[in-house]
Amino acid sequence: MTDFTRTRAFFHLPENLIYMDGNSLGPLPRRDMERLSCTVEKEWGEMLIRAWNRAGWMELPDCVGDRIAGLIGAPKGSVAVGETLSIKVYQALSAALSLRPERKVILSDSGNFPSDLYIAQGLIDMLGRGHQLKIVRPEEVAEEIDAIGEDLAALLLTEVDYRTGRRHDMAALTQRAHRKGALAIWDLAHSAGALPVDVTTAEADFAVGCTYKYLNGGPGAPAFIHVAERHIRHISPALQGWLGHADPFAFESDYRPAEGIARMRVGTPPILQLAALDAALEIWEEVDIHKLRARAIALSELFIARVEARCPMLALASPREPEERGSQVSFRFKEGYAAMQAIIDRGVIGDFRAPDIMRFGITPLYLDEADMEKAARIIADVMNNRLWDAPEYRARAPVT
């Protein structure tokens, strides 16, 4: 059983603050402080370069990869960790295109995160082989798979929309793509640690994601890539770094890919970030993800009900049906940026996504019913008294 009063104590959270932005940057797990000071002082400080062997630094990406595998329904040894999510999208997409060399279309949707789309465009330009990125509305993806048919190389989708929280049916769309002989790449940035994910049952060919959101790995924490076992030996990696080589310390002049998922490694792993992430992932040993999901839905329903009852000017941007949402609730409001700044000023942290989306992450590891009630009261105060209508709330910061 998961005791959510216990999990709250796992995090360092500032007092008098309701943190509803764990979908963008998870809070600091208390155990990270001890782990990081050990990694810095004892390992880096005392062992110096010997720590690569003595402190298990070289194996750390694999250990972390296996922890993440457990959270996304992937077998051990099928997840590589490192770099950022944008790079992992590049690795997955380039691999998928090379597995389907005759096909030219990549299908994505307008709800996808810009970086995923930019990476796809950049890769197409670099390949110069006439690939096309087709972007349709999320609700049109299924039909479009059938319409493109035999020319579809890969589906490139984010399961949960970063703006609205709308959730795709990963298994159904993957199956549909497979029927046309195409591959499916799923971005789990807003899924891993937010809801039950099973890439094996869904038969996803590739899955990628970041770890600084719901997995609480800290700012700039490394990303992950999962490759289905049926594909891994057929992949010639686009980024052929020395640590993805079969024998890095042979220092051969020619690249030979490592066996298995290790070929998706590129360069030197970020040890401090991995140590922080590894400690943060220990928390999940005590969490039943199905219970977490049920609780996230209950909290979201409460939050939506309270906000809607008091704030008629806020339009729900997330699907009303809980099963069609990820773990965030978004509202549309024309002056959403200013409104969010005023809300943050009063102790409820959410964020804003252009053009008009106010996002609130619902993370049961450290949020409860009392937080939902209090947050809704603060939001209602700001909205009904137009407290956002002040010049200082309109000045845009670089990060929104």
Ligand X SMILES: *Cc1c(COP(=O)(O)O)cnc(C)c1O
Strand partners, 223: 82
400 is a site residue for ligand X (CB under 6 A): no
Residue 362 Cβ vs ligand X, minimum distance, rounded to whole Å: 16
Instruction: Using alpha carbons only, give the angle 301, 304, 309 rounded to the nearest 5 degrees.
Output: 125
Residues binding ligand X: what is the number (CB under 6 A)? 13
Catalytic residues: 113, 187, 212-213, 359
Strand partners, 187: 158, 208
- Which is closer to ligand X, CB of 189 or CB of 348? 189
Only segment of 8-16, 80-88, 296-304, 323-331 that touches ligand X (CB under 6 A): 80-88
Q: CA-to-CA distance for 52 and 303, rounded, in angstroms?
A: 47
Residue 60 Cβ vs ligand X, minimum distance, rounded to whole Å: 19
Q: CA-to-CA distance for 29 and 71, rounded, in angstroms?
A: 18
Residue 23 Cβ vs ligand X, minimum distance, rounded to whole Å: 9
Write the binding mask 218 to 237 for ligand X: x where contact by CB under 6 A, - elsewhere: -----x--------------
210 is a site residue for ligand X (CB under 6 A): yes
Q: How far is CA 252 from CA 151, 242, 259, 263, 264, in A?
A: 39, 9, 16, 15, 18
Q: CA-to-CA distance for 55 and 68, rounded, in angstroms?
A: 21
Tokens of 266: 């590129």
Whether the Cβ atoms of residue 334 and residue 317 lie closer than 8 Å to each other: no
Tokens of 196: 């039950």
- Which is closer to ligand X, CB of 113 or CB of 331? 113
371 is a site residue for ligand X (CB under 6 A): no
Count of other CB atoms within 10 angstroms of residue 53: 11
Footprint (CB under 6 A) of ligand X, residues 140-159: 158
Only segment of 9-17, 84-92, 258-266, 348-356 that touches ligand X (CB under 6 A): 84-92
- Which is closer to ligand X, CB of 162 or CB of 284? 162
Contacts with ligand X by CB under 6 A lie at 84-86, 113, 115-116, 158, 162, 187, 189-190, 210, 223
